[in-house]
């Protein structure tokens, strides 16, 4: 069973794939049956089955690191539009459209708002489902701290600023669904920002 969360009008499905245990989410409008897949990470046959069953219309990437994009060629070949930020687009072998900050992705009657959060990669992007408490944080925010900023293109100062200025302005009860591992809330993580700055990771 892939259903993770559901409320009137929307549902979120989740699977864990690949050697890095990536979380892959499908956000679906229950009124129209349309869906969007967040991060075509790995195990493309499994993800394509999900796409077909859940009415996925397009694929959006939180960032361009290899473990989040292994299934991108297969989903593009199957006819799905793959979107990524311009700053991370060179990390993909191919893509179809560019994600821009503070824009809206329509999924049936749902609206998914983009939030640029550079730091883990130059083009890291989070997605907030309007009218819900859901925030898909990619590798920008996890339980216990920010994502790793030591990879090429990473910037610790930038990821801290992204958390402080972009994500921690969300309500405390916002549910954070990251690219790996368990979920958390903004309220649980926000008080620890200074600790993270002091420890340096």
Q: In the prediction, which pLDDT does 166 show?
A: 98
Q: In the prediction, which pLDDT does 1 show?
A: 66
Q: What is the CATH number of domain 3-199?
A: 3.60.15.10
**For the chain, give me the number of helices (H) and strands (E)?**
5, 15
Q: What is the mean pLDDT of the chain?
A: 98
Q: What is the pLDDT of residues 59-101, one digit of tens each?
A: 999 999 999 999 999 999 999 999 999 999 999 999 999 999 9
Q: What is the pLDDT of residues 2-61, one digit of tens each?
A: 999 999 999 999 999 999 999 999 999 999 999 999 999 999 999 999 999 999 999 999
- The tokens for 135 are 């925030």
């Amino acid at each position: 069973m892939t259903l993770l969360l559901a409320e009137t009008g929307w549902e979120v499905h989740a699977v864990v794939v690949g050697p890095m245990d990536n979380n892959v989410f499908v956000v679906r409008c229950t009124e129209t049956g349309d869906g969007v897949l967040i991060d075509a990470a790995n195990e493309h046959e499994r993800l394509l089955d999900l796409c077909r069953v859940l009415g996925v219309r397009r694929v959006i990437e939180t960032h361009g690191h290899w473990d989040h994009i292994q299934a991108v060629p297969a989903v593009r070949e199957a006819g799905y539009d793959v979107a990524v930020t311009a700053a991370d687009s060179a990390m993909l072998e191919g893509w179809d459209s560019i994600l821009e900050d503070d824009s809206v992705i329509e999924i049936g009657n749902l609206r998914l708002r983009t939030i640029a959060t550079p730091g883990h990669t130059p083009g890291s992007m989070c997605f907030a489902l309007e009218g819900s408490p859901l925030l898909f944080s990619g590798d920008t925010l996890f339980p216990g701290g920010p994502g790793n900023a030591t990879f090429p293109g990473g910037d610790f100062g930038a990821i801290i600023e992204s958390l402080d200025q972009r994500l921690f302005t969300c309500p405390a009860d916002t549910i954070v669904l990251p690219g790996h591992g368990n979920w958390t809330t903004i309220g649980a993580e926000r008080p620890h920002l200074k600790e993270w700055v002091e420890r340096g990771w």
